[in-house]
Chain A
């Protein structure tokens, strides 16, 4: 037989391993609190509140204003990164950028592949409203999906935040149809802001 026997860790070894894992988690949280993650979450929360409140009360054909909000979100996020403490560059840093690029690239591919583009020109107003709800839910869930994936590998908090936000968006989509945008703005944006404040206050 080529198999090695599996040895059970002793009580002290298990305790030491748990203590070490807990210490690593605290260090990771301190590191995250020292970056611009907290302010970035607050910033995106404010963008969500403003953009979706606008979307709830806008007139027809004013989708482009939402793109102005999104662009402002990215520019603000980049500025926050620039103004914050600059971490030491490591050879593996390329992976973070590629991860976000891959995520948004694949999200665009999914939309290109699955959206019924040939049906869009012949839509009635009710169909247009449904499509608008669908696309809003989709593009709100994509970044939450990124939080879940990052949460799996970096910090569990982001995993739960991503899953909670996804759940909230779907609840709004299915049950709060008439106030869907207001719901995402208030509950989604609010959750992002509270999470950012929580990281700033308790992870330092």
Chain B
């Protein structure tokens, strides 16, 4: 027989293992607390508040939204230059590859699940297609795209928190924010922008503040 007998650990060994796991977790949290994670999340929350607030209250030209986002990233970069992170980590190519893969598959999924092609040479579809092209549906289509893009980003965060930077906290945060997006999209579509701004942005800011305060 080539099988090994699995001996259960005794009480002291089990206690030592649990203590070691606790110590590792505490150290990992301290590392995250001391890194740029917390401030980055607060910045991300502020960006959400501004951009979603803009979408809700000032549905103007899209280029203004890009200018707004660009201004935020410039401010973020300036802040990083003034206060560089004390811990520099080597860039992980797998993270970039994962982003690439997720965006590629998100585009394939969007193409496959959207109704394009359903209207070709199909007389019975005319009425339905016309209904789909109404003004309200154009707005809902934009909201759908926004919700989808945000959920794809959150999916990326969940996968990263399961693989590269294992953290139960960030897995739960990603799932919670996904639920927030879906609740807003289905329950308060007229106020989706405000919902995302306050609840989504607020969750980011609270999480960032929590990490800064309690994981040091």
Which positions in A face B, CB cutoff 8 Å?
A: 2, 88, 91-92, 95, 98-99, 102, 106, 109-111, 113-116, 118-119, 122-124, 126-127, 130-131, 134-135, 137-138, 141, 145, 148-149, 152-153, 166, 170, 173
Contact = CB atoms under 8 A, between A and B. Distances in A.
B98 to A, nearest CB: 6
Interface of B: 6, 21, 84, 94, 97-98, 101, 105, 108-110, 112-115, 117-118, 121-125, 127-128, 132, 144, 147-148, 151, 155, 158-159, 162-164, 166, 171, 175, 178, 182, 185
Counting chain A CB atoms within 10 Å of each CB, the highest count among B21, B112, B122, B164 belongs to B112
Given A99-B162, A106-B151, A116 B115 contact: yes
Question: Per DSSP, are chain B's interface residues mostly helix, strand or loop, or mixed?
Answer: helix
B117 A138 contact: no
B185 A127 contact: no
Contacts of A119: 115, 118, 125, 128, 132
Contacts, number: 103
A170 B84 CA distance: 45
B113 A130 contact: no
B21 A114 contact: no
Closest 9 CB pairs of A and B: A114-B113, A116-B115, A124-B124, A138-B112, A106-B155, A145-B105, A95-B162, A153-B163, A134-B112
Nearest to B155: A106
A122 B144 CA distance: 22
B118 A102 contact: no
Contacts of B155: 102, 106
Contact of A109 (B98, B151, B166): B151
Contact of A127 (B118, B162, B182): B118
